[in-house]
Amino acid sequence: MGSIKAKSSVLWFFVLMFISSFLWQRRENAFHKNCITIFSYFTFLGFSDSFKFSTQFL
């Protein structure tokens, strides 16, 4: 159960990073880049928290 949650969170993390990097290349606005950076940072925090949570059940 825990390993499935870890794999899905890893996949979700890479999908979000791919979308954010694509938007980063499309936009040249500094404010938009800052929003993507903050979004990626909180996404990484959520990913690390879910990874820690899932590794407790392995």
Domain ranges of the chain: 2-55
Q: Which two tokens stand for residue 52?
A: 């820690």
Per-residue pLDDT in tens (0 to 9) along the chain, 58 residues: 456 666 777 778 788 778 777 776 666 666 677 777 778 788 777 777 766 766 666 5
Say how far residue 2 (Cα) sits from the centre of its chain: 18
Euclidean distance between the first and the last CA atom of the chain, given in angstroms as a whole number: 8
Determine the Cα–Cα distance for residues 5 and 27; give it in Å rounded to an integer: 33
**HSE toward the beta carbon, residue 51, CA cutoff 13 A:** 12
